[in-house]
Amino acid sequence: DLSLFRRKFRGSILGVLTGDCLGSPYENEKLSSGSKLVLQKSFDKLEGPPFKAPVMQFTDDSAMTMSLAESLIEKKDLDLVDLAKKFVKSYYQEPQRGYGSGVVTVFQKLRGSKFSDVLLPAKEQFHGQGSFGNGAAMRVAPVALFCYNHYDNLREFAKKQSLITHTHKIGVDGAILQAIAIQQSIHIHPDDQLNVIDFVDELVNKMNFVEEDEEGLDLVEAQPYKSQLNLIKKLLQEEGEENPIDDKVIKNLGNDISGLRSVPTAIFCFLRAQKPIKGIKTDNPFRRAVQYAISLGGDTDTIGSMTGAIAGAFYGEEVISPNILQHLEASTDFKDLADDLFQVATKMEWNS
Ligand code: F2R
Ligand code: MG
Ligand code: MG
Ligand code: MG
């Protein structure tokens, strides 16, 4: 059903934008119960009757997502030189979008070397360790959509697009996991009851191969995402509406700028929001997921955005309030981008 996929493409891309714009005012906060109430009220207001207010600005998360989508659409392929150029151009046009402090060095070196080796600057980050930030994961949605029907390409493309800025295994595998979660969501009908444990089990199986122990390390240590996914399962089984365990979620899954302590959190927020959550008053499961993600504090724009990308891919665009979208910067541009990506992706031979 192509029209369902089209709505899911829009849902995912607009989900990125929604979580980013709504989450960024709270970035790096620890939300008290008072600020969680402020969050509830501000969502209520945005969702309510239209009112005049300054639009909420997007940050690096959406800016880089846009570059990646534009490059895939234009090149009908993943072209790393073109992508690097688009990232750099977008950064120098709008450097105030709240980029990570490390990644800026990559942009400077890429430009300074005239893109002679687009993989080299990222390799030199953090004394050769590479970045383990969530920057490669936060922008990966367009790859998941571009490869929506082809798992091997999705894995390969999610990795390759990371390597322009993130080479640390944690940074790369976080992007792969986020892409896989979006792809799984695309392929489940939103009217079907989602079995949250099956959803995680499928991720565990896939990440087991992604995180194969290549260096002869202890298998548990060498598969950190798999461990976090198993924790998600435990938390989902433990938590009931009456027993919110936010502190436990933050402590165990995390809410920071590293891939490992943000991507699994976003997946958890999407899955947990299938059921009501105490303190979050809405019947809309997309809003519940994004609001819950932001309420956990820390890297709120990014965890909100990644949660939105997964939830939007599951429910489709109709779950995102048009009133809210009106308050978000460039939301029609992002919708058009999703449509263009849909046109290109559905014509790729390997998706058919
Ligand atoms: N950077 C932010 N928010 C804080 C500042 C924004 C504010 N508005 C301002 O401008 O002052 N948000 C954005 O950054 C995150 C994505 O970051 P990305 O793209 O992964 O960048 P980077 O620099 O590669 O990594 C982020 C930080 O992680 C630490 N780090 C990463 N790898 C490391 C390593 N191997 N060793 C030690 N530290 C490492 C560093 O502190 C990096 O700067 C998103 O939240 C996005 O919204
Ligand atoms: Mg940001
Ligand atoms: Mg930084
Ligand atoms: Mg962030």
pLDDT in tens, 95-112: 999 999 999 999 999 999
Q: Ligand 1, residues 16, 257, 301: which to mutate, most atoms within 8 A of Cβ? A: 257
53 exposure class (CB count in 10 Å sphere: 0-12, 13-18, 19+) = exposed
* Residue 133 Cα: closest atom of ligand 1: 20
Q: Is the CB of 298 under 6 A from ligand 1?
A: no
Which residue's CA is the nearest one to ligand 1's atom 33?
Answer: 131
* Residue 257 Cα: closest atom of ligand 1: 45
Q: Is the CB of 327 under 6 A from ligand 1?
A: no
Q: Is the CB of 264 under 6 A from ligand 1?
A: no
Confidence of residue 122 (pLDDT cuts 50, 70, 90): very high
* Model confidence at 335: pLDDT above 60: yes
Q: What is the DSSP code (8-state) at residue 94?
A: -
Express each pLDDT in 35-54 by its tens digit.
999 999 999 999 999 999 88
* Residue 96 Cα: closest atom of ligand 1: 10
CB-facing half-sphere around the CA of 138: CA atoms within 13 A? 32
Q: How many angstroms separate the alpha carbon of residue 131 from the centre of ligand 3? A: 10
Q: How many angstroms separate the alpha carbon of residue 90 from the centre of ligand 4? A: 17
Q: How many angstroms separate the alpha carbon of residue 29 from the centre of ligand 4? A: 11
Q: What is the dihedral of CA 307, 197, 149, 258, to 10 degrees?
A: 40
pTM exceeds 0.95: yes
* Model confidence at 213: pLDDT above 90: no
Q: Where does the chain have alpha helices with state H? A: 2-23, 33-47, 60-75, 80-93, 103-112, 120-123, 135-138, 141-146, 151-162, 169-186, 196-210, 224-238, 246-252, 263-272, 285-295, 300-315, 322-326, 331-345
